[in-house]
Structure 1
Amino acid sequence: MAWNVFKFCTVLRGLGSIMILLVLGVVGVTYYAVVFTNYGPALFDGGLHSFIAVVLVMLLWSYFTVVLTDPGTVPPNWKPASDEERGEVDPLNESEFGGLQPDLSSQRIRYCWKCNQFKPPRCHHCSVCGRCVLKMDHHCVWVVNCVGALNYKYFLLFLFYTFLETSLVTLALFSHFLAFFSDEEIPGTTATLATTFLSFVLNLAFALSVFGFLIMHVSLVSANTTTIEAYEKKTTPKWQYDLGRKKNFEQVFGTDKRYWFIPAYSDEDLRRMPALQGLEFPSNPDFDSEEF
């Protein structure tokens, strides 16, 4: 009997709420260890300690933005305006598909039989969310949400600030951690010492694990692809959405440099760049679809 992994989708939905509490728990332990136990007012005196506080704010801002932002849903009654698979620009009409029923043998359009609707380019069905997600990257239990077109930038910023924050906290608490293995008498109660030790270990573990994940997503952004697409095109020598590293970066972060490191977009970028909305994506003019 085949093992169906999708029967655990309900479990994954419930697990997400626990993950939010876990993230907040790690942040709380870190805050207590850094602010109350060791540094306190020094966080407002400038330098590394103040930077830790700023990064923590950016981490939480990015985290709750990706949690609360819908990754992108296919608009009701959406239909493709052109033949995406063959690169044709002639409008599609209902009669060609027999009343919105696509001919899958032609491989000319993408259709989701679970949602009973057409699928825009780069859109995939998420079995956990139970719907199609625009430019879906993956479903992340840590954010209780899918990562897609409308919140991918926020997810990347969450990874970036998590790595930065955990690395800085690890550095700040390193001397306190070494003190546990010295012959010196360490001031503080047993509870505060245990919190400092736990915070160092947790932040070091998160820094190491997030670093690998961050590097992977940096490579995906540089190629203008997603985790799902990277798996699907692993044998494909070319990728039609690869516009060059600079433009690939802008397809996710926008062109306004003032917004690159905050979980938001400028109004101008939202108007000028359809890719940020998840329905239309510019293609490399040198890409020859007939090769595939």
Structure 2
Amino acid sequence: MAWNVFKFCTALRGLGSIMILLVLAVVGVSYYAVVITIYGPGLAAGGLDSLLAVAVLILFHFLLVMLLWSYFSVVFTDPGCVPPSWTPALDEERGDTNPLTLAEFPADVENRRIRFCRKCNQFKPPRCHHCSVCGRCVLKMDHHCVWVVNCVGALNYKYFLLFLFYTFLETSLVGLSLLPDFIAFFSDGEISGTPGTLATSFLAFVLNLAFSLSVLGFLIMHISLVAANTTTIEAYEKKTTLKWHYDLGRKRNFVQVFGTDKTYWFIPAYSEEDLRRMPALHGLQYPSKPDLDAQEF
């Protein structure tokens, strides 16, 4: 008898706030090592040491604010659910826009390519998938992330990418800031501080180095996904699909995730204009290659 591992997916919900506390713990250790132990006291050193301390502290706090803003935006933003009244067109390829009802589903599903979720008992918009952890369908679902205790989907995917981006920059900065003390520790150099502060700095360096390298891999992967206008789930589905009609070119694909307003590209938010004129940001409909002549971004 096959073992259905999806029955145990709901166990991931139990992690809940533990993962959030773990992220905040790493932030706290890093803050203590960089600000309290090393560069905070370095402000009183005078000369170039003080200028270096000011530069590191300003950049550290800026990246930290952006990291936490992006992180909690992913945590608290619903990735997108299917509206209760949503129904697909009867036959979109033939131009028939008459709405389909659930009663018509069994007879039409085979030849009209209608997507339906048996678990939620509802129609599924394009690029929508069912999450076994959340127990519902998620618009343009990418994956369920235990680190953010949420699904990553249409409405928070940009925030997730920014979280990866700022996490990489922040952890890299912390690693570089603590590198001199780390080298001195193993070369019997002179290091100021108590054994407790030294242990905290050592732990912060190792944690941030590990996070920096791992996040870089995820960041590169998701950049390639954005460039192809696909998600993690769809990347596997494309192996059985000859053509991917949502790939509109790198520029248009980028805009579908980050919007057209450049002032909002690096913050976890969208302009009102983009939200008004770009249906793709709402997760229910997406332009495809045949639509290019009729729709501009």
Equivalent in 90, 93, 96 of residue 96 of structure 2:
90
The offset of 1:51, in angstroms, is 1.0
Query: Which residue of structure 2 lines up, in the alignment, with residue 49 of structure 1?
Result: 57
1: CA distance between counterparts of 2:205 and 2:95? 57
1:200 corresponds to: 205
Q: Establish whether residue 170 from structure 1 lines up as the match of residue 175 from structure 2.
A: yes
Correspondence 1:105-124 to 2 at 5 A: 105-124=110-129
Q: 2:192 aligns with which of 187, 193, 214?
A: 187
Match of 1:143 in 2: 148
1:224 aligns with one of 214, 218, 229? 229
Q: Does 1:22 align with 2:22?
A: yes
- Equivalent residue number for residue 81 of structure 2: 73
Greater helix proportion: 2
Work out whether 1:32 is the aligned partner of 2:40: no
Deviation at 1:102, TM superposition (A): 5.7
Please, what TM-score do these two structures have when normalized by structure 1? 0.92
CA distance in 1 between partners of 2:148 and 2:140 (Å): 17
Can you list the C-alpha shifts for 1:170-202, whole angstroms capped at 9, x where unaligned?
011100111111223321111111000000000
Q: Where in structure 2 are the equivalents of 1:274-285 lying within 5 Å?
A: 274-285=279-290
Match of 2:69 in 1: 61
Return the letter of the residue paired with 2:9.
C
| Structure 1: runs of 5+ lacking an equivalent | 288-292
Equivalent residue runs for 1:242-253 within 5 Å:
242-253=247-258
Kept in 2: contact 1:74–1:120 (CA 8 A): yes
Distance 1:120 1:93 in 2: 13
Question: Equivalent residue for 1:241?
Answer: 246
Distance 1:102 1:138 in 2: 32
1:290 matched to which residue of 2?
Answer: none
Structure 1 residues 82 and 38, CA, compared in 2 at 3 Å: closer, same or farther?
Answer: farther
Aligned-pair identity in percent equals 75
What is the distance in 2 between the residues matched to 1:102 and 1:15? 42
State the AA in 1 paired with 2:31: Y
Cα 1:273–1:179 change in 2 (3 A) is same
Report how many aligned residue pairs link the two structures.
Answer: 284
Counterparts of 2:236 and 2:86, CA distance in 1:
27
Separation in 2 of the partners of 1:273 and 1:195? 47
Q: Per-residue displacement from partner, 1:134-181 (whole Å, max 9, x unpaired)?
A: 000000010000000000000000000011110111011100111111
Tell me, in whole angstroms, the C-alpha distance in 2 between the residues paired with 1:77 and 1:114.
17
How big is each residue's C-alpha offset from its partner over 1:43-72, in whole Å with a ceiling of 9 and x where there is no partner? 996424311210011000000000000000
Contact 2:87 2:99 in 1 (8 A): no
Structure 2 residue runs without a partner (length 5+): 44-49, 293-297
Quick check: 1:102–1:109 contact (8 Å CA) kept in 2? Answer: no
Runs of 4+ in structure 1 deviating by more than 3 angstroms, as ranges, are 41-46, 92-95, 97-103
Q: Is the 8 A contact 1:166 1:204 kept in 2?
A: yes
Secondary structure of the residue aligned to 1:74 is coil
Q: CA deviation at 1:100?
A: 5.0
Q: CA RMSD in A?
A: 1.9
Q: Does 1:159 align with 2:164?
A: yes
Which position in structure 2 is the counterpart of 1:131?
Answer: 136
Would you say the 8 A contact 1:102–1:111 is kept in 2? no
1:237 and 1:48 map into 2 onto residues whose CA distance is: 50
Question: Could you list the per-position Cα deviations for residues 191-218 of structure 1 after superposition, in whole angstroms to 9, with x for gaps in the alignment?
Answer: 1110000000000000000111100000
> Offset of 1:238 from its aligned partner?
2.5
